[in-house]
């Protein structure tokens, strides 16, 4: 009978030892992983909504106006008679018109 009670309390000790790890993982999820996934989804939605005439900033810091949108890339006018072609993944953010 003593052996049975020793096993029952042993499993409770294992759970209490893993409880801090479980709480740590849950905290990491709500503080880091969850908000990052939300930002990523918002960025992907912004990329899908890009159209000609939008003003954007690239990840390299180049400002420009979109002149043509293709499947995986776009044409960006950065100055008079100067256009560049870049992948959509390099768009950092869309600038709201003032």
Same domain, 44 and 64: no
Same domain, 55 and 96: yes
pLDDT of residue 17: 86
pLDDT of residue 98: 63
- Locus of tokens 């954007």: 56
Q: Which two tokens stand for residue 14?
A: 């294992």
State pTM to two decimals.
Answer: 0.68
| Ramachandran quadrant class, 44 (left: phi over 0; alpha: psi -120 to 50; beta: rest) | alpha
Same domain, 31 and 66: no
Q: Residue 88's Cα: distance from chain center in Å? A: 15
8-22 as b/e: b if 16+ CB within 10 A: eeeeeeeeeeeeeee
Show which of 32, 49, 66 is a domain's final residue: 49
Same domain, 45 and 1: yes
Per DSSP bridges, beta strands 55-58 and 63-69 are: antiparallel
Q: Which residue range forms the structural domain that includes residue 92?
A: 51-98
pLDDT bucket at 92, cuts 50 / 70 / 90: very high
**Who has greater pLDDT, 32 or 1?**
32
Same domain, 58 and 85: yes
pLDDT in tens, 29-79: 888 888 899 999 999 999 999 999 999 999 999 999 999 999 899 999 999
């Amino acid at each position: 009978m003593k052996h049975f009670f020793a096993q029952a309390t042993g499993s409770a000790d294992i759970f209490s030892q893993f409880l801090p790890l479980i709480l740590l993982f849950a905290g990491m999820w709500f503080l880091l992983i969850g908000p990052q996934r939300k930002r990523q989804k918002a960025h992907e939605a912004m990329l899908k909504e890009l159209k000609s005439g939008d003003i954007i900033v690239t990840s390299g810091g180049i400002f420009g106006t979109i002149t043509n949108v293709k499947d995986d890339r776009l044409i960006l006018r950065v100055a008079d008679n100067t256009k560049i072609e870049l992948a959509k993944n390099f768009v950092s953010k869309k600038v709201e018109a003032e």
